[in-house]
Amino acid sequence: MGRKFKCLPEDKIQAAKDYLSGRKSTKKICSELGIRYNTNKGNIVRIWARKYQELGEMSFYDKPYNKSYSSRLKIEAVESYLRGEGSKQDICFKYEILSPSILGRWIKKYNRNIELKDYKSKWEVYMPKGRKTSKEERVEIVKYCINNERNYKEAADKYKVSYNQVYTWVKKYDSNGDAGLLYTNTIFDTLDLAIKSNPGAKPLVHSDRGFQYTHKLFQKKIQKNKMIQSMSRVGCCLDNAPTEGFWGIIKYEMYYNFRFENEDELRRTIKDYIYFYNNNRYQERFGNLAPIEVRWKAMSSVNPRQYPIPENKRILAYKAMLEEKKKKTA
């Protein structure tokens, strides 16, 4: 199942206006928003347009509390749907229900003779959505929470972040100190941080084919900063095996064995370990040489010795499957 890419309310409103005015097709709107177009994705643009027409711009923004529905409204909406007066989406627009999934839950309860009760939202039970934060903010929030008897809800309310964010940050801080709060949560934020920290750099950016890296917004960032994007081949997960293997080694041999008090200490330890790995970590498959020694010999030889990765049953089975697929498509 593919992951959803969330659009901002402003993007949805503009998309609705563009579609209703006839300036853009659903396919073009999906393309500009980085949504892979198909019939269902095109339909979501039409739903935004109808929502804009019938409920206005404010319907696209989250409310500071959960929406209330009376038992009478629930029953009327369910019976209207069961009488065939429209699709779930039609009924939602008619009764101002936030989503078809809510109506679907009411229908299930109705059909099972479970009472549809009144619900009145309360401000204190609302769980606000998370927001982007800097490392300095996260440190401040965590320390406030710890100094106030780990009252996660109080910290979340004070700093306008979600309860889950505060809880996660505190746990990371307990495990790794400030270093646990260093990294941002998304690929886009990490790329922005790398660009800001290395102005003018134009590296080759290599990755697997995760949805973040094939997304048009990510590719536009790469192009805008004149970087070169590189990805593993389609259907060939072994391309990234050496890199993934190194991450496993550095975590097992270095990261999990230390507690880092701050970012500088983490950076120094990573740098020291990479030096150790290249210069002093002798490997049996290299004839008991360190990686740097293997490289020196290769650079000074016309026909350098090859050190293929030892085969194993899973890799052999995977390669056999690829060959079988090639024969079928040939």
- 128-162 pLDDT, tens per residue? 567 778 878 888 999 998 888 888 888 888 898 88
Alpha helices of 230-312 — where are they, by DSSP H?
A: 241-253, 263-279, 291-299
Nearest one of 171, 174, 180, 165 to 255, comparing CA atoms: 180
Q: For residue 287, give the amino acid letter.
A: G
* Those residues with Cβ within 8 angstroms of residue 173's Cβ, 6 or more apart along the chain or in another chain: 139, 142, 146, 180, 181
CB atoms inside a 10 Å sphere around CB 151: 15
**pLDDT value for 141:** 92
In DSSP terms, 306 is beta-bridged to none
Q: Are 241 and 314 contacting, i.e. CB atoms less than 8 angstroms apart?
A: no
The two structure tokens encoding residue 32: 């500009």
DSSP string, 145-176: HHHTTT-HHHHHHHHT--HHHHHHHHHHHHHH
**Predicted TM-score (pTM) of this structure:** 0.38
Q: Are 250 and 275 contacting, i.e. CB atoms less than 8 angstroms apart?
A: no
The residue-averaged pLDDT of 268-280 equals 91
Range in 79-88, 89-98, 165-174, 306-315 the model is least confident about? 306-315
Residue 184, pLDDT above cutoff 50? no
CB atoms inside a 10 Å sphere around CB 301: 9
Structure confidence at residue 6 as a pLDDT band (50, 70, 90): low
Q: Are 188 and 218 contacting, i.e. CB atoms less than 8 angstroms apart?
A: yes
Q: What percent of the chain has pLDDT over 70?
A: 85
28-32, 137-141, 168-172, 214-218: which is most confident? 137-141
The residue-averaged pLDDT of 213-236 equals 84
**pLDDT value for 122:** 46
Nearest one of 286, 283, 282, 285 to 294, comparing CA atoms: 286
Structure confidence at residue 227 as a pLDDT band (50, 70, 90): very high
Range in 70-74, 197-201, 243-247, 308-312 the model is least confident about? 308-312
More confident residue, 43 or 297: 297
The two structure tokens encoding residue 217: 């917004």
Nearest one of 216, 219, 225 to 196, comparing CA atoms: 225
Per DSSP, the chain holds a count of helices (H) and strands (E) of 16, 2
**pLDDT value for 178:** 73
- 26-74 pLDDT, tens per residue? 888 888 877 766 655 556 788 788 777 776 776 676 554 456 778 888 8
* Those residues with Cβ within 8 angstroms of residue 77's Cβ, 6 or more apart along the chain or in another chain: 91, 94, 95, 97, 103, 106
Residue 2, pLDDT above cutoff 50? no
Q: Are 121 and 156 contacting, i.e. CB atoms less than 8 angstroms apart?
A: no
Nearest one of 227, 64, 248, 78 to 160, comparing CA atoms: 64
The residue-averaged pLDDT of 103-118 equals 82
CB atoms inside a 10 Å sphere around CB 5: 14
**pLDDT value for 186:** 64
Residue 228, pLDDT above cutoff 80? yes
Nearest one of 290, 274, 284 to 310, comparing CA atoms: 284
